Structure 1
Amino acid sequence: MTISALLFDKDGTLFDFSATWSNWAETVLDDLAGGDPALAARLAERLGFDRDARRYDWRSPVIAGTTREVAEAIAPELATRDIDALAARLDAQSARTPQVPAVALRPCLGALRGRGLKLGLVTNDSEASARVHLQGADVLDLFDYVAGYDSGYGAKPGPGQLREFLAREGLDPAQAAMVGDSPHDMAAARAAGTGAVAVLTGPNPRAVLEPVADAVLGSIGELGGWLDRQDATGGR
């Protein structure tokens, strides 16, 4: 069946994960630790972030978790029970963090729209932050659908965000593919019945992604070629 729609993850897929979220972590650690280096070190450990190497451990909750899950992970170090307020604080910093595109987004996504494809974004970030980031990259208008963990359809690896998009567009799952950089993205695709395409612009290596994806691409810039191959082989 011909691919008629693509659903994108945001961080690590549209935007380079390390370049973007290392800056976010540094700012969050400075903000929450208030100048206490020991507290900053403990928070960094809970985030799975190595400040010296500016690198995340692959098990970090920041990679695939929701903002609330990140807040829950660091809350014990802050002696706070107000997870909602902490998550809102993290979301606000996320919205302020400059995003580093993985490729030239407007030409890439514009070419996909030129093929007649519907485009959606499904992220475990908040919907508001996602819209700010897409607007900042001048691509919000190219998306037919944007959903975050707080949009009311659940979060990945659950399929709710994807199923809502399919329902709105009247699409069979086989007509769509999920494009992401993590096993969570691929699990959501499997659960929703869509194709599962992984990219290597996030922290997960090929060895982690190949067993759970239909295809592994260097970046979303290779999607045009992948779609051509799908058309040539009838999706086989």
Structure 2
Amino acid sequence: MNGCSEMFKGVLFDKDGTLFDFRGTWDRWAAGFLPQLSGGDEATLASLASVLGYDLKAKAFLPSSIVIAGSNREITVAIAGVLGRTDIDALEQEVAQSAANAPLEPTVALAPYLQGLKDAGYKLGVMTNDAESVAHAHLGHAGVRDYFDFICGSDSGFGAKPDPEPLLAFCSHVKVDPFHTVMVGDSTHDLEAARAAGMAAVGVLTGIAKAAELAPFADTILNNIGELESWITFKGQRK
């Protein structure tokens, strides 16, 4: 980019399915973590897969899975119901610790991509319904944590998508109003939150949702975040 557009000054990214390919990251993580959680019991494994919307044969999450857009807490509660555990906080930490070490498949070469956005003058943030600690771990493992001005999880005190509050917290933190902010995500939760916050809503197809599912909520749909620059430029010319 030659410089920050007149129309947009801030870009807020979802994490899973947006910065990191969903299937390349979370399908692989579940294939190892769910058998571990089940303690080798086949019936327990089947029940875990059922409540989380995971196809054991295909080793892939279903489009209806709670893991796609649910908060870390919601996922933990679902797991606890199968395991009969009442120590939700402790279990949530176990899930977060495992998730923090999930294999990561970036959707583009993140460091040069984000450096380009920073050089152009954009304020950058991440808002994920995952835990904040997991977001920091993943961005750190990928070597891109320091590119972001704001990193927020569903447990950061601002709520979770599709509520707009965490998105507005980004705007407040970087001092960019919502009208001049783009929210980029792979789920309807991301796009609904963007609309509710008064931001541009950009969908990407690096998650599980198809274009037809995202289209009613999106200003545009891109194959991946690498196409964002062209869209921002186009919007700036059309304003």
TM-score, structure 1 normalization: 0.96
Following superposition, the deviation at residue 233 of structure 1 comes to 0.7
Corresponding residue of 1:56: 61
Any idea what SS the aligned residue of 2:212 has? Answer: helix
Picking from 180, 185, 194, the partner of 1:175 is: 180
Following superposition, the deviation at residue 19 of structure 1 comes to 0.9
Per-residue CA shift, 1:110-157, capped at 9, x if unaligned?
A: 111121100000001111110111111111111000000111111111
Q: Would you say 1:153 and 2:158 are equivalent positions?
A: yes
Partners of 1:85 and 1:5 lie apart in 2 by: 36
Q: Would you say 1:83 and 2:94 are equivalent positions?
A: no
Following superposition, the deviation at residue 53 of structure 1 comes to 1.2
Picking from 95, 99, 102, the partner of 1:94 is: 99
Following superposition, the deviation at residue 8 of structure 1 comes to 0.2
Corresponding residue of 1:192: 197
Q: Would you say 1:43 and 2:48 are equivalent positions?
A: yes
Partners of 2:24 and 2:8 lie apart in 1 by: 31
Partners of 2:127 and 2:221 lie apart in 1 by: 19
Following superposition, the deviation at residue 54 of structure 1 comes to 2.1
Partners of 1:76 and 1:231 lie apart in 2 by: 49
Partners of 1:28 and 1:55 lie apart in 2 by: 13
Following superposition, the deviation at residue 196 of structure 1 comes to 0.3
**2:128–2:153 Cα contact (<8 Å) kept:** yes
Following superposition, the deviation at residue 69 of structure 1 comes to 0.3
Q: Would you say 1:128 and 2:142 are equivalent positions?
A: no
Following superposition, the deviation at residue 27 of structure 1 comes to 2.1
Deviating above 6 A after TM superposition, structure 1's stretches of 4 or more consecutive aligned residues are: none
Partners of 2:107 and 2:59 lie apart in 1 by: 18
Partners of 1:171 and 1:155 lie apart in 2 by: 20
Corresponding residue of 1:208: 213
Q: Would you say 1:224 and 2:229 are equivalent positions?
A: yes
Gaps of 5+ in 2: 1-5
The aligned runs of 1:3-14 (5 Å cut-off) are 3-14=8-19
Any idea what SS the aligned residue of 1:125 has? Answer: coil
- Partner AA of 1:22 in structure 2: D
Partners of 1:131 and 1:215 lie apart in 2 by: 28
For these two proteins, the number of residue pairs brought into alignment is: 234
TM-score, structure 2 normalization: 0.95
- Partner AA of 1:225 in structure 2: S
Following superposition, the deviation at residue 225 of structure 1 comes to 0.6
**2:149–2:174 Cα contact (<8 Å) kept:** no
Gaps of 5+ in 1: none
Partners of 2:171 and 2:81 lie apart in 1 by: 39
